[in-house]
A and B are shown apart, each in its own frame.
Chain A
Amino acid sequence: MVDVSQHELVPDHTVVDDEEIEDVLEEYDIKKTDLPKLQRLDPAAPDEASVGDVVRVTRDSRTTDQAVVYRLVVD
């Protein structure tokens, strides 16, 4: 089986803890469901991610070196 995370197009995906989620939601003044979504069966989703978790995606960005975005895991 091919390790998806090794591909150069796939950025880092990590599950974040509740505390960090709160910080993020507060910073953007949004609800959790307003976040972009990530399907639970997405090949790049971390194995331990379950529905309702928030995943931090650290991209190599073209405009800043690194861009951090959050996605809510959905079914």
Chain B
Amino acid sequence: MTRADVSDDVEAVVEDTDLPRRLKDEVYDTVEQRGLTVDEADDVARAVESRYLDTRVDPLDPVGTVSAQSIGEPGTQMTMNTFHYAGVAEIDVTQGLPRLIELVDARKTPDTPMMTVHLDDEYATDREKAHEVVWNIEATRILALGDISTNVADMLVQIDLNDETLMERWPTVSRTEDVADEIAETIESNLGVKTRRSGTVIEFGPEEPSYRDLLQLVEELREIVFKGIEEINRVVIRKEETDDGEEFVLYTEGSAFGDVLGIEGVDASRTTCNNIHEIKSELGIEAARETLINETMHTLEEQGLDDVNIRHLMLVADIMTNRGEIESIGRHGISGNKQSVLARAAFEVTVNHLLDAAIHGEIDALDGVTENVIVGKPIKLGTGDVDLRMGAKQD
């Protein structure tokens, strides 16, 4: 790569250093701004390099322990209360310590799953269009569409559909009768009953007159999802400022990441979700790692603990995604998979580990920290791992 704003000599000098790209670019900028000579540029580059090397982690530094402490201490200051309306819209999201625990435990489903759905061009600017997407996502059940009444004398369930709601939720269909037909069909296939429709009123009843069956049908009817995605109970639409103007963004209560990505109008390149497992199965392990970092940092920031260095969270996310799948920190994940018997025994369920190890004749190589603390040897960290010997010859 050649840069137009500096001479080849300066470039050769700077590229020769061990600096990362960003710092090299900053050096270039400075050299250009101050109009430095090649020798001066060399001095600057060397000085920056030596500072950079000083700030790097030393070999044998216990980075994991430092990360654990750096996340653990702010953790003590976090709130215990689970629910709060987060800054965004009126959606309930788990925050604070419970959320952090949920993330490092890699729970299959979070307590409060949610998605942030971004929209494609015209859907993002037109409220009507955005609402179309909302109705394709939010689960529509019968109670939202009309009134249900049970006629015990004739053993019938009557649904009086609301015309306005139908038109609103099925904007692409012009006649309410067509929508009513569609609804009747859904009911027939779900409940296995025959329906009759007149106008926008749908009637049906159990095959044999039975009071219990009638009530059962009503119960089941309430569960049927006529439109949208079953997992998503609520969608909040919000207008947000972007770099170039405003756009509508949807926030959902409940998540079904894979389904939503396929819906027309949804921008599949920016939409995210707070369930790392869903991200993993739709976008892969690297995206899951990224989401883990974002979510943990966001959880800390929300609590005013934004001075935790991002590198600690990156380390945690790296470890959790190291095997190509998401592993939890703890007995069932990282700590439970340690090589050393003694390290595992020291963590949780001591006796089980020792017993199993004895039965299988496991060998502990005493490489780790915990094992060496237990047997009373110096741990292999920092100066503990360096052997110094006096040379036999002088050279």
Contact = CB atoms under 8 A, between A and B. Distances in A.
Contact of B279 (A8, A9, A36): A9
Nearest to B285: A42
B283 A44 contact: yes
Nearest to A61: B314
Contacts of B281: 43
B22 interface: yes
Contacts of A71: 285, 324
B268 A2 contact: yes
Contact of A64 (B20, B286, B293, B321): B20
A4 B282 contact: yes
B324 A4 contact: no
Q: Is the interface of A mostly helix, strand, loop or mixed?
A: loop
B285 A39 contact: yes
30 contacts: A2-B262, A2-B268, A2-B282, A4-B282, A7-B269, A7-B287, A9-B272, A9-B286, A10-B284, A10-B287, A11-B286, A37-B323, A37-B324, A39-B285, A39-B325, A43-B284, A44-B283, A44-B284, A44-B286, A44-B287, A57-B286, A59-B286, A59-B290, A62-B293, A62-B310, A64-B20, A65-B20, A65-B21, A65-B22, A71-B324
A2 B272 contact: no
B95 interface: no
Interface residues of A, number: 27
Interface string B331-370: 0000000000000000000000000000000000000000
Interface string B268-301: 1110100000010111111100110100000000
B322 interface: yes
A65 B20 CA distance: 8
Contacts of A7: 268-270, 283, 287
Q: Is the interface of B mostly helix, strand, loop or mixed?
A: helix
Contact of B283 (A43, A59, A74): A43
A45 interface: yes
Contact of B21 (A11, A36, A44, A66): A66
A9 to B, nearest CB: 4
Contacts of A74: 324
Contacts of B290: 9, 11, 59
B175 interface: no
B20 A37 contact: no
A38 B284 CA distance: 9
A2 B270 CA distance: 12
B286 A10 contact: yes
Given A9-B291, A42-B324, A65-B21, 11 more contacts: A3-B268, A7-B270, A8-B270, A13-B286, A36-B323, A39-B324, A42-B284, A44-B287, A57-B286, A62-B314, A65-B22
- Report which residue of A4, A7, A11 has the largest number of chain B beta carbons within 10 angstroms of its beta carbon: A7
B311 interface: yes
Contact of B284 (A4, A6, A36, A64): A4
A44 B281 CA distance: 10
A75 to B, nearest CB: 10
A24 to B, nearest CB: 16
B261 interface: yes
Across chains A and B, which 9 residue pairs bring their CB atoms closest together, nearest first? A44-B284, A37-B324, A9-B287, A64-B20, A39-B324, A42-B284, A43-B284, A2-B268, A6-B269
Interface in B111-167: none
Given A7-B269, A8-B269, A65-B21, A2 B284 contact: no
Contacts of A13: 286
Contacts of B22: 64-65
A42 B322 CA distance: 13
A43 B282 contact: yes
A5 to B, nearest CB: 9
- Report which residue of B272, B281, B291, B324 has the largest number of chain A beta carbons within 10 angstroms of its beta carbon: B324
